[in-house]
Amino acid sequence: MLLSIRYILTAGFAVFPQSNQIRRFVGKMAATLAHPAAAKTIDQAGKLRFAAAPTTTHTQRRHKQRSPRQTAIASGGGTPVASPLYNNRRIILTLVGLTFIIHGIGLLLLIQPVVGLFDESPLIDQDWGLHFHHLRSMEAFWRQDRSLTGYNPFFMAGYPSNTIQDLSIKFFEMVSIGLSALALSSVQWFKLTAFLSMASVPWLMYYSARNFFSADESVNVTALSAALLGTIYWWNSLPREMFFYGMIGFPLASYLSLWGISLFYNLAIGGRAVTPAHFGWLAFSVVILPLHVQSIVTIVPPLIALGIVEPKLLQRNLLLAILGAGALALLVNSPWLLPAVAHRGDDISQTIVDQLPLFASTDPLTFLIDYVGTKGYWTFRPGFIEKGFRLILLIVAVLGIRSLMQNGKRTLAIMFYCSLSVLFLVTYFGAFIPSIKAWQPLRFKVPYDLFLAIGAAYAIGQWATHRAAATFRYVPWLMGAALCAITVNLAQTESSGKLRLRTQTIPEIQSIVAWVHHETPTQARVLFEESGDETGFVYDGIYLSSFIAQHTGRQLIGGPINLYNDRHHFAEFHSGKLFKREIGSFSDQELRNYLSLYNIGAVVAFHPASLKRFQSMPGLFTFDRRIGPVHLLKVNQTLSWFVQGEGKVKAQLNRLELTAVKGNPIVLKYHWINGLRSEPAAKIEPVKLADDPIPFIKIIDPPAGLILRAEP
- pLDDT tens digits, one per residue of 303-349: 999 999 999 988 888 999 999 999 999 999 999 999 999 999 999 88
Question: Measured between alpha carbons, how far is 221 from 258 in angstroms, rounded to an integer?
Answer: 18
Tens digit of each residue's pLDDT (9 = 90 or more) over 625-651 = 999 999 999 999 999 999 999 999 999
Name the 3-class secondary structure at 45. coil
Give me the pLDDT at residue 202, please. 98
Determine the average pLDDT of the residues in 375-393: 74
Per-residue pLDDT, averaged over 649-665, amounts to 96
- State percent of the chain over pLDDT 70: 86
What local confidence, expressed as pLDDT, does residue 85 receive? 58
Task: Please count the other Cβ atoms lying within 10 Å of the Cβ belonging to residue 597.
Answer: 17
pLDDT at 8 over 60: no
Q: Say what percent of the chain tops pLDDT 90.
A: 71
In this model, does residue 55 exceed pLDDT 80?
no
* Secondary structure (3-state) at 78: coil
pLDDT at 414 exceeding the cut of 60: yes
Residues 6+ apart with CB under 8 A from 318: 267, 268, 271
Q: Please tell me the predicted confidence (pLDDT) of residue 83.
A: 52
Task: Share the mean pLDDT of the chain.
Answer: 86
Torsion sign, CA atoms 252, 257, 260, 266: negative
Cα R_g (the chain), whole angstroms: 30
Residue 62 has pLDDT above 80, yes or no: no
- Interval 494-517 mean pLDDT: 93
Q: For residue 378, name the pLDDT band (cuts at 50, 70, 90).
A: low
Q: How far apart are CA 32 and CA 21, in angstroms?
A: 17
- Give the pLDDT band (50/70/90) at residue 383: low
Mean pLDDT of 666-679: 96
695 neighbors 688 (Cβ within 8 angstroms): yes
Tell me, what's the pLDDT at 185?
Answer: 96
Q: Report the pLDDT value the prediction gives residue 470, as an integer from 0 to 100.
A: 72
pLDDT digits (tens, 9 = 90+) for 567-604: 999 999 999 999 999 999 999 999 999 999 999 999 99
Buried/exposed code over 481-498 (b: 16+ C-beta within 10 A; e: otherwise): bbbebbeebbeebbeeee
| pLDDT at 384 (0 to 100) | 66
Map residue 642 onto helix, strand or coil: strand
pLDDT of residue 706: 96
345-370: buried (b, 16+ CB within 10 Å) or exposed (e) per residue?
ebbbbbebbeeebebbbeeeebeebb
Across the range 409-421, mean pLDDT stands at 95
pLDDT of 49 strictly over 80: no
DSSP-derived secondary structure for 207-238: HHHHHHTTTSTTHHHHHHHHHHHHHHHHHHSH
pLDDT at 533 > cutoff 70: yes
How many residues can be counted in the chain?
A: 712
Q: Residue 15 has what pLDDT?
A: 40
- Give 87's DSSP letter: G
> What is residue 41's predicted lDDT score, i.e. its pLDDT?
34
Q: Specify the pLDDT at position 24.
A: 47
pLDDT of residue 697: 97
Q: CB of 481 within 8 A of CB of 500?
A: no
What is the predicted pLDDT for the residue at 258?
97
Q: Is the pLDDT confidence value at 27 over 70?
A: no
Q: Which band of pLDDT confidence, cut at 50, 70 and 90, is reported for residue 20?
A: very low
Average pLDDT, stretch 176-182?
Answer: 96
Cα–Cα distance measured from residue 328 to residue 326, given in angstroms and rounded to the nearest whole number = 6
Q: Report the SS3 class of residue 600.
A: strand
Helix, strand, coil percentages, rounded to 5, for the chain? 55, 15, 30
* Tens-place pLDDT, residues 386-398: 788 999 999 999 9
Per-residue pLDDT of 122-150, as tens digits, reads: 999 999 999 999 999 999 999 999 999 99
Mean pLDDT of 267-293: 91
